[in-house]
Amino acid sequence: MVHANVEVRNFAGIHVRPSGLIIQAAGGYPGKISVEGKGMVTDLTNVMGLIAMGLYQGDHVRISVDGPGEDEMLSTLTDLFGKNFDFPPRGE
Q: Which residues are catalytic?
A: 15
Element (H, E) at 7: strand 2-7
Cα distance between residue 65 and residue 35, in whole Å: 9
Q: How far is CA 86 from CA 17, 37, 63, in A?
A: 10, 23, 23
